[in-house]
Amino acid sequence: LGRFPNGILPLFVTEAKGRRVGIVVDRFLGQHELFVKPFGRPLCKMAGLAGGATLGDGEIVTILDLAGLL
């Protein structure tokens, strides 16, 4: 919590499995079209992880499976 000024946390709110959920994120990157590459073992066995992707600037990001987190 100390990283964010005034204790305000960036929160991504969406709906999954008919429930509204909020997930605290480090930052918002905007909307991107991505090719998601599935993780290999052992990460492919972890619930809530869809895979990884590389952004246009070369940054590697983890893609969550929101339904798998619930």
pLDDT tens-digit series, residues 29-42: 888 888 999 998 88
Q: By the 8 A CB rule, do 49 and 41 touch?
A: no
Instruction: Give the pLDDT score at 2.
Output: 55
48, pLDDT greater than 80? yes
The torsion defined by the Cα of 25, 28, 29 and 34, in degrees rounded to 10, comes to: 60
What the chain holds in terms of domains, given with CATH numbers, is 5-69 (2.30.30.40)
